[in-house]
Each structure stands twice: as structure tokens, then as C-alpha cells.
Amino acid sequence: MNPATGIYQESDAGLTGLLVEAESNPEQLYMVIFDEMNLAQVEHWFSPFISLLELEKNKRLLQLYHPSVQCEYAYPSEVDIGDNIIFVGTVNFDETTKSFSQRLLDRANVITPRKLSFSEVWNMQQNQVSGRYETTRISKSVFREVWMNSSAGEISDLREEEAALMDLLHEALQKTDSQQGISFRVIRAIANYINNIPCLLDGSTVISRGDAWDIQLKQRVLSKLSGMEATIGTLVGIFHGENYEEGTLTGILQFAHSQRISSFEQSIELLKKKAKELTTHGYAN
């Protein structure tokens, strides 16, 4: 809204136009990518989307301006955020950016891409296929109804030993900070992820159930661990020189019954990384 003219004008980013277009084309799949989205405090500008995306899909109405206000380009006063839109954000964590709140992290997968070695990139470039890759346009229906399991993930989809492990981790987090822990929202999201492991033509899954658990624990639970040694040191452990003294969470993941669920290699590696940050900087992110 332009306060000088009282007229609603779209920003240069063109997000409003894309949302309106997506509403007009419900079968077309759209992806909105927010580059370096944490240069400003994410909750300050993204909070309307956080709240809307938790509502039923026919109730996700984002108000752009009051209906009585004049609009320069005849945009509607509100736009429906359908399930044909996927929101993705890229972030950096350094002194120039803002950290995420627990509220936001509770609702998102935090994915840290693996850095390729120079040799891997060299091999890829040496063996790359000339010309463009063949692409396939995927509709919203194919993505939501064919590629995805229509039933929402529930705790009952987990195995008994998996639910017991989540209880152990939750109790360990709660002992350190009563505001920490694993929410029902996170558990349902993990169950939904496991229910949607892609299958190959021969019926085998792309990744094992154990690997899926490792990935989700890293992305949905351990990604929320940040703070000083006094806050999270007992959870992630600490390094004494090159020797790692395991924390409570590492010990739980290395229990025999936990190892029957997954090796948790990525999760344990992340805990060690945070422990190393505590030793070096006195703070882990």
C-alpha cells in the first residue's frame, strides 16, 4: 500500500502477481523461492504465510489490502493460497543474517546440501551430456495425488520402537529447557515424510526407512538446537582437543535399540559438528 496515494501497488518482486496467477491456474504447479530469506527477521514478513499454510486449503486467504481501498492494477483484495504453490527459502547463517525462531523451525524442513568435492564436479563436467535435459511438466494433481500419499501422517503410522525413541529424545530436550522438545506437529510431519518415500519401478524404495528417519531427525529436530555450552552442551557433547565426549542425544542415538531403527550417521555427525562449534566459538547454530 502506497501511503502517499492510498493506492495498492505490487512490489518489484512480482510475488503478488504470481500468487494471483496461481489462483487462476489451480492445476499448474508453482514454486516460490525466497533467496537469502533471513537477511531480515523471517517472522516479521513471513508470518502471514506461516499461519495461512496451517489452515485447510479452502481457507488460506491472504489479504492484500482492505476491500475499500483503491487498487492501481485491479488486484483482488485477497488471494487464495492453494496447494499448487510450494514455498522454498535459501538461507545463510553468519553475522549478517537473523536466526530462525522455534515457531518457524517447527514448521519446516531445514536441508543442508552436501558440498561436492572438486573431483566430483570435474567428473560431472567431463561426462555431462551435451544439449538440454529432457523435462516433464508436472501438474498439481500428479504431484499431490499420484506422487504423494493422500492420507496425512499420524503417530499410529510409526512403529512402537520409533515412538519410544521420540519419547526419549523429547524427555532429554525437556530436561535442558522446558520450552524445547518434539511437538505433535513435528511427529506427524516425520510420519508423513516416511509415508511418502518414493518407490522405484521394481517396488523398492529410493531410500530405506532407517535413512529417512536419520534425515528427518536431522532436519526437523536437531536443526532447532542452538545456543551456548551452558544451554546445549549436555545435549550435543563437547570436544576436548580431538576427543569427543558424547552428549545425551548422541548417547540415545547410539543405544542398541535406536541403532535397530537407523544408524543415525547424519544426525550424530550434526551433533558432533555443533559440539565442535561450541568448543571453537562458544556457541552453536
| Neighbouring C-beta atoms of residue 131, cutoff 10 Å | 6
206, 197 Cβ separation under 8 angstroms: yes
Please give the pLDDT value at position 130.
Answer: 57
The string of DSSP codes covering 168-201 is: HHHHHHHHH-TT-S--HHHHHHHHHHHHT--B-T
Q: Is the pLDDT of residue 6 over 80?
A: no
Say if strands 85-89 and 243-246 run parallel, antiparallel, or are unpaired: unpaired
> For residue 152, which amino acid is it?
A
DSSP-H helix ranges across 178-264: 184-195, 209-216, 229-236, 248-253, 256-259
Dump pLDDT digits (tens) for 11-56.
Answer: 778 888 999 999 999 999 999 999 999 988 888 888 778 888 888 8
pLDDT-wise least confident of 23-37, 103-117, 233-247: 103-117
Q: How confident is the model at residue 146 (pLDDT cuts 50, 70, 90)?
A: confident
Contacts of 193 (CB under 8 A, 6+ apart): 153, 212, 215, 216
Could you tell me what percent of the chain has a pLDDT over 90? Answer: 51
Name the most confidently modeled range: 57-61, 88-92, 167-171, 278-282.
167-171
Dump pLDDT digits (tens) for 197-213.
Answer: 988 888 889 999 999 99
Q: How confident is the model at residue 269 (pLDDT cuts 50, 70, 90)?
A: very high
The number of residues in the chain equals 285
pTM of the model: 0.83
Q: What are the boundaries of each domain within the chain? A: 7-105, 149-284
Q: How confident is the model at residue 136 (pLDDT cuts 50, 70, 90)?
A: confident
Q: How far apart are CA 105 and CA 170, in angstroms?
A: 16
Please give the pLDDT value at position 273.
Answer: 96
Please give the pLDDT value at position 133.
Answer: 61
Q: How confident is the model at residue 101 (pLDDT cuts 50, 70, 90)?
A: confident
* Mean pLDDT for all residues in the chain: 88
Please give the pLDDT value at position 30.
Answer: 95
285 or 171: which carries more pLDDT confidence? 171
- Averaged pLDDT, 157-174: 96
Please give the pLDDT value at position 69.
Answer: 72
| Neighbouring C-beta atoms of residue 74, cutoff 10 Å | 7
Please give the pLDDT value at position 125.
Answer: 84
Look at the block and give the residue holding cell 500468487: 19
Look at the block and give the residue holding cell 499420524: 154
